Chain A
Amino acid sequence: MHNAVNVNNVSLAFAAGLVLVALFIGWRQKLGVDRDMIIGVVRAIIQLTIVGFLLKYIFAVNNVLLTLAMILVIIFNAAYNAMKRGKGIPNIFWSSFWSILISTSVTLSGLVLAGAIKFVPSQMIPISGMIASNSMVAIGLCYRNMRTLFRDQRQQVLERLALGASVHDSAIGIVRECIKTGMQPTIDASKTYGIVSLPGMMSGLIFAGVDPVYAIKYQIMVVFMLLSATSLGSVSACYIAYRRFFNDQQQLVTASDNGK
C-alpha cells in the first residue's frame, strides 16, 4: 500500500485552487452561482470535517446502537432532502423517511446476510450513506415527475375516477411512470460502469492500493445494491406519495388545494 492516497494539508490547499477555476467561470459567464458555490464549498468542508471526526470516534467505539443511530441520522437527512423535491405533496417527509428506511434496511440486511459486508461501523455506515443518497436522488426524481404528471394528466385521472375507478386504478399509470423515472439513472449508470466511469467505491479502493480485480468485486456488489436500493425506494415512495394527491372522498386534490 505504498501508493496509498496521502492528501496533506498543503496539497489540499493547492486543490482548493480548483474551486477558484469554477468561481472564475461562474463570474465570467455571469451565472450568478458564486454565492451558492462558496456556501456549498464551505458546507462541504465543515460537514466532512465533522463527519470525519465523528466516524473516527464511532469506528473506535464499535457499538451496535451507535452504528444504528448514525444510520438513522443518515436516513433522516436523506429524507429531509428528498422532501424538498416533493414540495406541495402533504406529509411528504414521512413518505420519504419510510421509503429510505425500507430501501436502506432491506438492502443492508441482504448484504450482511450474504456475507458481502460485516456488521461493523466502518462498513455499515459508508454503505448506508451510499444506499440512502442514491435512494434520496431516486425518490426526488419520482416526486418531481409525480407532481408534473398529476398536473399534466389531471383530466385523465378525473375521467377514470368519474367512471368509478379506484384511486389506485386512476393513478397506476402515473405511479408506474414515476417508479421508472426513479430507477432509470441507476440502470443507465450500470450500463456504462467500467467503460465510461470508474465508480466511487472502486476508485476509492484502487486509490487505497487495493488490487483492481478485487476492487471490481466490490463495485459489482455496489451495482446490485444500488439497483435494489433505488427500486425499493422508488416503489415505496411512489406508492405512499400518490395517495396524497387524493382525499378521503377519493377526490383528486391539487397541491395548492392542500394549502401547501
Chain B
Amino acid sequence: MFYAYFRINEESGETMTALLTMTDIDYRVGERKILTKINLRLEKESNLMVVGPSGSGKSTILQIMARMISPSAGQMTFDDHDAFTYDPMVYRRRVSYCFQQPTLFGKTVADNLNFPFEIRNQSVNEARQHELLDQVNLSPDYLSHDITGLSGGERQRVALIRNLVFVPDILLLDEVTTGLDTDNKAIVHGLVDHYRDRGGTVVWITHDESEIAAADDLYEVVAGKHTQEVRHA
C-alpha cells in the first residue's frame, strides 16, 4: 500500500497550470508491482510532499518523474507535452532529482560545482558558485576542499546546490534531510525556500514530522486504483 500527501502552494488555487501530471502510472519489476495506477497533478510553483512507509514506492515515483526509470504503463506530461518526447538529457536539466544519499564525485567541491557548467559546455561562473555556497553557509574557499574531508551535512549541502547551479523548473528531493541535525536541516529548508521564492516547484519525500506538519495542503494517494484527498488547510 502506498500513501502520498501532496502539499500545494496556497496561492495556486485551481487556476494554476499543471507543470507535471501522472496518469495511471504503473511500475513493475518482473512480476512484482511497485506502483499501481498512480495519478497526480503537480501545479506550477507548488510544494508537494510525498510521505509513506519505507518501501512503499515513494522514491520510485520521484525517479519516474525525473525519468531515471520509465513506468511500465501510464502517461506523464511535463509543461503540457508528453514528458517522454523531451530529450532525456534536456528534461533532466529541467526536472532535477537529488538523491537520498548523494555521492560527490571527483576530488574537490569545485569538481562537483563545475560539472553542471562542463556538461553545458559553459565556462565556470565562480560568482554563481560562491552565491550558492553562501546560501548553504559554506565559504567560497570550500571550492578547493577535498570531498573526503566534508561532514555528512556538508556533503548533503554541496550535493543539493549542485542541482541548483542552473535553476531547474522542478526540484525533486528524496529524503534529503534524513539524518541531518537541526542546524543542517534549517540550512536546507532555507535553500529550498529561496528556490521556491524564485518560482521553483518542489516535490519532497520526507519522514520528518515537522516537515509534514508544516504542509498547507495534504492529499493522500493510495497505491492501486484510489486517489483521495485527506486534508486541506
Min distance, Cβ B118 to any Cβ of chain A, angstroms: 7
Is there an interface contact between B88 and A250, defined as CB atoms closer than 8 Å?
A: yes
Is there an interface contact between B88 and A251, defined as CB atoms closer than 8 Å?
A: yes
Residue interface bits A220-249, CB-to-B below 8 A is 1, else 0 = 000000000000000000000000000001
* B115 in complex: contacting residue of A155, A158, A163, A251, CB < 8 Å: A163
B102-137 interface with A by 8 A CB criterion: 102-103, 105, 115-116, 118-119
Is there an interface contact between B92 and A162, defined as CB atoms closer than 8 Å?
A: yes
Closest B residue to A250 by beta carbon equals: B88
Total residues of chain A contacting the partner, CB 8 A? 15
Q: Which residues of A contact B162 (CB under 8 A)?
A: 163
Q: Does A169 contact B (CB under 8 A)?
A: yes
Min distance, Cβ A254 to any Cβ of chain B, angstroms: 12
B50-97 interface with A by 8 A CB criterion: 66-70, 84, 88-90, 92-93, 96-97
* A162 in complex: contacting residue of B68, B70, B84, B105, CB < 8 Å: B68
Q: Decide yes or no: A164 and B67 within 8 Å by CB, A156-B105, A159-B99 being known contacts.
A: no
Q: Does B163 contact A (CB under 8 A)?
A: yes
Measured as residues with beta carbon below 8 angstroms from the partner, the interface class of chain B is 20 to 34
Is there an interface contact between B68 and A251, defined as CB atoms closer than 8 Å?
A: yes
* B89 in complex: contacting residue of A158, A159, A165, CB < 8 Å: A165
Q: Which residues of B contact A249 (CB under 8 A)?
A: 67, 70, 84, 88
Q: Decide yes or no: A162 and B66 within 8 Å by CB, A155-B103, A169-B118 being known contacts.
A: yes
Interface of B toward A, CB cutoff 8 Å: 66-70, 84, 88-90, 92-93, 96-99, 102-103, 105, 115-116, 118-119, 159, 162-163
Chosen A-B contacts, 16 in total, with CB atoms closer than 8 Å, are A156-B103, A156-B105, A158-B99, A159-B102, A159-B159, A162-B163, A163-B162, A164-B116, A164-B119, A165-B89, A165-B115, A250-B89, A251-B67, A251-B68, A251-B69, A251-B88
Interface of A toward B, CB cutoff 8 Å: 155-156, 158-166, 169, 249-251
